[in-house]
Homo-oligomer: A and B are copies of this chain.
Amino acid sequence: MQTQPRPQEWADVTPDTARRLLTAAVQAFAERGYHATTTRDIAARAGMSPAALYIHYRTKEELLHRISGVGHRLALGILDRARASDGTPAERLARAVRDFVRWHAEHHTTARVVQYELGALSAEHHAEIVALRRSSEAAVRQIVEDGVAAGAFRVPDVRGTTLAVLSLCIDVARWFRADGPRTPEEVGELYAGLALRMVGCDDGA
């Protein structure tokens, strides 16, 4: 059960105090929303003074930008590794969906902040995040196009279908409950099969 973001999610954030503030911000944003959270709330959750927070982050928006950047880079890494991996397009699409779904299930608190608070980023930071999202989309679209070119997938609308597959995975963060009936692995497996059906690559089940 995820009550705190998993350590490896923020492993690259140093020093410890900066990482502690980031995980406190994720929890606060997820519970009350970005706009209802103050830097004072975040510092208190991390057991620090507001002054200690400002050593690492000048503004609340800088915390959100950092969270969003880490989340989007992890997502892009997952999808790009699947794109570049060995195997047929069907195997690579299944891998992309399975791993992307698992991430959204296991890190659903972070994923919700990352997905629902995009509008609170500054224009410059928003543009940077949108570029990462476009790269994620391009990675999955490449797998779909490879499948179509190989004659393994039948997809009348490659762009729309790619976005739908990503959307299905992302929405796992909204409804997934750690105490629910399915594990992240089980949802990932189910969704990998559904994604293959969406691209017209039937499993014969």
CB contact list, A175-192 vs B, under 8 A: 175, 182, 187, 190-191
With both beta carbons as reference points, the residue of chain B lying nearest to A187 in the complex is identified as B160
A164-205: CB near B (< 8 Å → 1, else 0) gives 100110111011000000100001001101100110101001
Say whether A134 faces chain B, with CB atoms less than 8 Å apart: no
Query: Contacting A164 at CB < 8 Å: which of B33, B35, B161, B190?
Result: B190
Q: Tell me, rounded to whole Å, the shortest Cβ–Cβ distance linking A189 to chain B.
A: 10
Say whether A20 faces chain B, with CB atoms less than 8 Å apart: no
Residues of A in contact with B, size category: 20 to 34
Q: Tell me, rounded to whole Å, the shortest Cβ–Cβ distance linking A40 to chain B.
A: 15
Note all chain B residues with C-beta closer than 8 A to A161. 190, 194
Report the separation of the CA atoms of residues A190 and B202 in the bound assembly, to the nearest whole angstrom: 18
Note all chain B residues with C-beta closer than 8 A to A35. 32-33, 35-36
Query: Contacting A174 at CB < 8 Å: which of B32, B171, B182, B198?
Result: B171
Say whether A156 faces chain B, with CB atoms less than 8 Å apart: yes
Q: Which residue numbers of A lie inside 8 Å of B, CB to CB? A: 32-36, 115-116, 154, 156-157, 160-161, 163-164, 167-168, 170-172, 174-175, 182, 187, 190-191, 193-194, 197-198, 200, 202, 205
* 20 pairs, CB–CB < 8 Å, chain A vs chain B: A32-B33, A32-B36, A33-B35, A33-B36, A35-B35, A36-B36, A116-B174, A154-B205, A156-B193, A160-B187, A160-B190, A163-B175, A167-B171, A167-B174, A167-B175, A168-B168, A170-B171, A170-B174, A197-B197, A202-B202
